[in-house]
Amino acid sequence: MTRSHATEAIVLKNSRIGEIHKGVVLLTADEGLVRAIAHGAYSQKGKLRGTTNLFCCGTCYLYTDPTRESTRITDFDVREYHPGIREDLARFYTASLWAESVLKTYATGGDAGRLYELFVTALDELQGRDPGEAPLVSIHFVWRFLEYSGLQPDLRHCVVCGEHLAESQPIYFSAREGGFCASEHAVDEMPVWQPGAAAYLRHAGRLALRDALRIVPPAASIPRIRRVLYEILEHHVDSPLNALRTGAGILS
């Protein structure tokens, strides 16, 4: 890596270093997660003060010191600040859940560019839509994030017996098996998706995120879908997700 370089990036996390410096974790299109320092970002006149806030995205200019094994942000040309996300609790906790999931899985260890594009698109949709649509945007982000992580459940075959799941019948999520099963294998506490919910995700889940959001899901299906996907997500990161705990009354 050259000492100075530029990359497309999203700010996922901030932390204070001393009195005026800011630790920043970025999701980048080229390198996945990058930890860097924004010198003076907490000072009143620091040029990086407003450009390194959570969910800002654009072109980030970095300098890596190989001797100190540290990276600092020299400039950030922000394309979108996403102020509406930080100013609304539903949007903020939703985006925070995505960021925490990416951080705890080290950006899934896969195609950084693909994950970056998904995150940017989801943030833009979250910013531009009514806060009441945040759960729907989140469903489609998490569904695709699980695909990138290799943990997206099969909606066509029973996880217990391998038989085809009838599209006219409800399907049940088995946390133990990590997938969906038919009614003959279900027990009372298993979350259930009605045929319309499963059909919706079978179809819309294959589309690009923006195209998927043009399709209206069955009434009352979003909370059921979200419950299962968030359960899979927590199993994937192998620890409680703080955003789900602190935003329980908003994200539940």
The CB-side HSE value for 55 (13 A sphere, CA atoms) comes to 25
What is the Cα gyration radius of the chain?
20
When pLDDT is averaged across residues 156-177 and rounded to a whole number, the result is 96
Q: Give the pTM.
A: 0.94
pLDDT, averaged across the chain: 94
Tokens of 45: 């006149």
Confidence label for 68 from pLDDT (cuts 50, 70 and 90) = confident
Q: What is the pLDDT of residues 109-155, one digit of tens each?
A: 778 999 999 999 999 999 999 999 999 999 999 999 999 988 899 99
Tell me which of 1.10.340.70, 3.30.200.20, 1.20.1440.120, 3.40.50.300 is the CATH number of domain 84-251: 1.20.1440.120
pLDDT at 198 over 80: yes
> Which burial class, exposed, middle or buried, applies to 105 when counting CB atoms under 10 A from its CB (0-12, 13-18, 19+)?
buried
Confidence label for 12 from pLDDT (cuts 50, 70 and 90) = very high
Phi/psi of residue 183, nearest 5 degrees = -60, -30
Q: What is the pLDDT of residue 2?
A: 64
When pLDDT is averaged across residues 51-80 and rounded to a whole number, the result is 94
Choice among 178-187, 192-201, 240-249 with the minimum mean pLDDT: 240-249
Query: Can you give the residue ranges of every domain in the chain?
Result: 4-81, 84-251
**Topology of the domain comprising 4-81:** OB fold (Dihydrolipoamide Acetyltransferase, E2P) (2.40.50)
When pLDDT is averaged across residues 53-75 and rounded to a whole number, the result is 93
